[in-house]
Structure 1
Amino acid sequence: MNVVVIGKSGQLAWELNDTRPDNVNLTCLGRDNINLFDEHSVNETLTALNPDVVINSAAYTAVDKAEEEPDAAYALNAEAVKHLASACKALDCYFIQVSTDFVFNGKADKPYTPDSPVAPEGIYAKSKQKGEQYVLDLYSEKSAIVRTSWLYSAHGNNFVKTMITLMNKLDSLSIVADQTGSPTWAKGLARFIWKLTEEQSQTGIFHWSDKGATTWYEFAREIYRQGRDKGLIAKVVTIKPTTAAEYSAPAPRPAYSVMDCAKSYLIIDGTTWQRNLTKIFATHILDY
């Protein structure tokens, strides 16, 4: 099976490569290998590779910077997705688009299902939702959209690695305690995506995150607890709760973005976020 992953420098692409099934011939493309902003280039590059599956993990993820660079955010999160979906349709190959919990406005009081109405706030969120809509409009018959949240791994930039770095430098941290969501180990997400590629028959929208919900504050406290146990954090740190308003980020974040993953867990079961955090710390390969 020939599989092309778009966005080779990200943490998900790394985990997709690390968990690659034996029957997969994997090609990871970065900005030097494919021009996502040119439809002809996308068509030409993918046609030459003749993929059975295309997985798009590339995204403009600088949530706050997107407010200053809307054109750049829409170009990568929406227009590039349009080009990929169109090219996949022409090649009749399976397309997986990775999306985000940010498509929801965070005003719910129970987990969002794949069918829950979207209401994105902020440029990043709106651009990702527009990318989703392109997939649904252009190639719904052979595409899957996988929304995820609070992604982390031993590679790339993410909350877990940032916390470990800061906890080894500072005596005190203030972490937002009024935003609730679900952390997601990128390796678990990669395994779910590979499961989708086995039959290439699952279409529509899927949610994938680790089991359970938490706040950024409680997530940080668990990172500290487990990090100290594993010897990754060498000093005592005071972790204080703060609010999103006090943090005052330029872009809005959903106050509640827990997603209902029941549909996905029928395909492959999930694991609690605490347990997956333990797994990543047990590897001792955090390259922070």
Structure 2
Amino acid sequence: MLKVLVSGVSGQLGSEIKAISTLYPQYDFTFADRSMLDLSNLCKMEDFFEGKIFDAIINCAAYTAVDKAESEIDFADTINHRFVSMLAKIAKKKNTLLIHLSTDYVFDGKNYRPYIESDPSDPQGVYGCTKRDGENAILSVAPCNTIIIRTSWVYSSFGNNFVKTMLRLGHERDNLGVIFDQVGTPTYARDLAQAILDILPQINNTKPEIYHYSNEGAASWYDFAKAIFELSSVTCQVNPITTDQYPTPASRPHYSLLNKSKIKNDFNLSIPYWRDSLKECLNTLGEIK
């Protein structure tokens, strides 16, 4: 039985992994939240791992407050970069398999086709920069049996996310303005969680590999909101607006579609269409009657 540590268990992905963990009896899970593994206290990291043996680490922990990161640069860097660097060193020292989650924000969003793993990164904000630096730290340490998975537009029945925000606002208001000139793919965290647990025993590489994972298809935030209301039968007028009409401290990629051919081919994965997964999530939330 593989001993698997999941960090960041209180987040969307960590919560989904925990929710489906009983479906994977071949794994002996340890779920770590910040009370067990304080990401902001790097001095205590080695203390946490002292005397513990894990066959695999799934690092779901991250600083994800994109706008707040513009003013909390050091805090974001500690969690998304320095913590990840130490985790990579520990994984290498202990010969532990490592799966690290990253983001589409490492790209500038100016592409004309879905991004492949080898496309140059060019983050446009602090959050993206710290996640890129975390990736580079892993590549520099180069532990065996390590993969980095970039994903996008994550939502879940757990935590705060776009789906829950739209549902709340849709019940409160008659109409909403939602951005239509940013295009990507919504990703149901439960699909990503299942994919990670399915591919884990297949990972066997001598240097870190980068993969992309999101649900299939493409949408703007406007399309995403329209689908949420349509599937949940919420009556709310959605009006398309441009990014300029909704200014935020951090810039967002205008185009962040991810090419998933590599992860599908290497691990024989079948990835669900985003609207099908959205329907499953809404059903879990009790929004589909």
CA distance in 1, matches of 2:3, 2:49: 11
Local SS of the residue matching 2:172: coil
CA distance in 2, matches of 1:152, 1:48: 35
Corresponding position of 2:264: 265
8 Å Cα contact 1:36-1:83 kept in structure 2? no
Residues 208-239 of structure 1: CA deviation (Å, up to 9, x unaligned): 000001100011000010010xxxx3xx2111
Corresponding position of 2:218: 213
CA distance in 1, matches of 2:203, 2:215: 23
Corresponding position of 2:112: 109
Query: Aligned-pair distance for 1:30?
Result: 1.4
TM-score (norm 2): 0.93
8 Å Cα contact 1:37-1:75 kept in structure 2? yes
Query: Aligned-pair distance for 1:69?
Result: 0.8
Consecutive unaligned residues in structure 1, runs of 5 or more: none
CA distance in 1, matches of 2:173, 2:41: 45
- 1:51-62 to structure 2, matched below 5 A, reads 51-62=54-65
Query: Aligned-pair distance for 1:140?
Result: 4.3
8 Å Cα contact 2:88-2:143 kept in structure 1? no
Alignment match of 1:122 (pick from 106, 119, 125) = 125
8 Å Cα contact 1:47-1:91 kept in structure 2? no
Which range is displaced more, 216-225 or 132-141? 132-141
Corresponding position of 1:163: 166
CA distance in 2, matches of 1:125, 1:70: 11
CA distance in 2, matches of 1:34, 1:238: 44
* Matched positions, count: 280
Corresponding position of 2:151: 148
- 1:68-147 to structure 2, matched below 5 A, reads 68-147=71-150
Query: Aligned-pair distance for 1:150?
Result: 0.3
Consecutive unaligned residues in structure 2, runs of 5 or more: none
Partner amino acid, structure 2, of 1:270: I
Local SS of the residue matching 1:187: helix
Local SS of the residue matching 1:168: helix
Local SS of the residue matching 2:165: helix
CA distance in 1, matches of 2:8, 2:284: 24
TM-score (norm 1): 0.94
Corresponding position of 1:244: 243
CA distance in 2, matches of 1:256, 1:23: 39
Query: Aligned-pair distance for 1:246?
Result: 1.0
8 Å Cα contact 2:155-2:161 kept in structure 1? yes
Corresponding position of 1:277: 278
